[in-house]
């Protein structure tokens, strides 16, 4: 490859290299990285007549090299579209997944149904990561206040940066906390608690795609031996922090909804709603107190 090659040819060659390294949708990846290297929207790339500059060419080659080593495309580009926001990502937190948009939609429906959004509703995003859930809720509910908690300081810094960048800082509070530890002794209750906790069983982590296994923080993935440790903790600890009419909205992994519903029942919750994702997997569960 050389920088006098046309963009089309460079993308074709890069795409072949990515395919050799097992990247799914190699051409789309190559196009996205070319667009990023040339600071252009992706749709313009296929029509662009000019050649990349020397610098843009070097950047593109470097990005393709990193992608072929299975660095996630989102880390190379630095952000991802989530719900109706552009969220910055880094190694500090889990890359937001499209399934999690379903959690946001489900929580919004709960609030609409109860007409609570007219008042100043208080929400908590437990294990906020990039802040994608909290930020989307805040954007959709301009009168809401959303607390973001995460055990990881670097995740909190990332989420806070996202809030600033998106102009949502006024609606959000950031707290570094291992579950509710940092809130102990405080008189606060939320109308809704949302969480996409780590839910991969420890022994499954090695089997994940390298993009996930080697680049998402282990803290954000590891849900203990059966993947359910955080659900057990939430079932026990959340009641204290939830107002009487409040709801808990949780994302879960494949085949986990049933055991989770069972363990929540034991702790006097009932599952009000179970939502399936586009792969027909039971992905989001809404709980309330019995």
Q: For binding to ligand GLN (CB under 6 A), which residues are involved?
A: 93-94, 96, 100, 127-130, 132-133, 196-198, 220
> Least separation, in Å, of the C-beta of 84 and ligand GLN?
16
- For residue 205, the minimal CB distance to ligand GLN (Å) is 13
Which residue is closest to ligand GLN by CB?
A: 129
Cβ proximity to ligand GLN: between 33 and 148 the closer is 148
**Close Cβ partners of 221 (under 8 Å, ≥ 6 residues apart):** 94, 198, 200, 205, 208, 212
What CA–CA distance (Å, rounded) separates 29 from 37? 12
Q: Which is nearer to ligand GLN, 90 or 128 (CB)?
A: 128
Q: From the CB of 89, what's the least distance to ligand GLN, in Å? A: 9
Least distance between ligand GLN and beta carbon 264 (Å): 18
Length of the chain: 290
Instruction: Please state, in angstroms and rounded to a whole number, the distance separating the CA atoms of residues 274 and 33.
Output: 37
To 10 degrees, the CA torsion angle through 216, 218, 219, 224?
130
Q: Which two tokens stand for residue 128?
A: 């906020």
Please identify, using beta-carbon distances, which residue of 117 and 216 lies nearer to ligand GLN. 216
Instruction: Report the residue number, 31 or 139, with the smaller CB distance to ligand GLN.
Output: 139
Residue number, 100 or 177, with CB nearest to ligand GLN: 100
CB of 179 vs ligand GLN, minimal distance in Å: 13
Residue labelled with tokens 């959690």: 103
Please check whether residue 224 is in contact with residue 84, taking contact to mean a CB–CB distance below 8 angstroms: no
How far apart are the C-alpha atoms of 217 and 64, rounded to whole Å? 23
């Amino acid at each position: 490859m050389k920088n006098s090659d046309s963009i089309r040819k460079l993308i074709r060659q890069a795409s072949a290299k990515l395919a050799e390294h097992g990247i799914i949708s190699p051409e789309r990846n190559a196009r996205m990285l070319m667009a990023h290297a040339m600071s252009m929207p992706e749709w313009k790339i296929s029509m662009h007549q000019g050649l990349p500059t020397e610098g843009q060419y070097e950047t593109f080659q470097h990005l393709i090299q990193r992608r072929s080593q299975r660095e996630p495309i989102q880390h190379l580009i630095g952000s991802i579209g989530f719900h109706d926001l552009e969220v910055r990502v880094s190694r500090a937190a889990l890359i937001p997944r499209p399934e999690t948009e379903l959690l946001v939609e489900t929580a919004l429906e709960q609030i609409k149904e109860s007409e609570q959004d007219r008042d100043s509703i208080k929400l908590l995003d437990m294990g906020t990561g990039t802040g994608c859930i909290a930020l989307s809720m805040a954007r959709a509910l301009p009168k809401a206040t959303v607390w973001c908690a995460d055990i990881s300081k670097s995740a909190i810094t990332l989420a806070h940066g996202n809030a600033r960048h998106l102009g949502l800082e006024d609606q959000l509070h950031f707290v570094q906390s291992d579950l509710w530890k940092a809130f102990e002794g405080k008189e606060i209750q939320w109308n809704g608690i949302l969480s996409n906790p780590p839910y991969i069983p420890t022994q499954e982590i090695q089997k994940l795609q390298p993009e996930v296994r080697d680049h998402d923080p282990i803290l954000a993935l590891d849900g203990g031996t059966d993947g359910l440790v955080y659900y057990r903790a939430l079932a026990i600890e959340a009641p204290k922090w939830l107002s009487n009419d409040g709801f808990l909205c949780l994302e879960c992994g494949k085949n986990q909804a049933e055991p989770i519903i069972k363990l929540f029942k034991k702790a006097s919750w009932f599952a009000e709603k179970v939502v399936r994702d586009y792969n027909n997997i039971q992905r989001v569960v809404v709980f309330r107190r019995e």
